[in-house]
Amino acid sequence: MTQAIQLHLLRPGQRGTISKVNGTGALRRRFVEMGIVLGETILTERNAPLGDPVAYFIKGYHLALRREEAAQIEVFLHEDVV
């Protein structure tokens, strides 16, 4: 792991470990309910044809987030690429 970057900046096939979850109120609660918590590993699977939403894989399930939502999540980038 190296630098912390926003989740939406990961390219398909890149992994990151969640280091910070921003946002307030309902959005933050929704992140926690979806399993987006500190220390969890998340994989960027693919982008939609027009770039939004982005598909991720976390805790054994597939998750789609809008880029503006993913920008609220910071991750430590893993060096290995799948």
* pLDDT tens for each residue of 29-60: 999 999 899 999 999 999 988 878 999 999 99
Q: How many structural domains are present in the chain?
A: 1
List the domain range (segments joined by +) for residue 39.
Answer: 4-81
The CATH number assigned to the domain holding 20 equals 2.30.30.90
- State the Cα–Cα distance between residues 61 and 6, nearest whole angstrom: 21
- Relative to beta strand 54-58, strand 61-65 is antiparallel
pLDDT by residue (tens digit) across 10-25? 999 999 999 999 988 8
- Per-residue pLDDT averaged across 64-74, rounded? 93
**What token pair was written down for 11?**
């390219």
Q: How high is the pLDDT of residue 80?
A: 63
Hey, which residues does 74 pair with through a beta bridge?
Answer: 6, 20
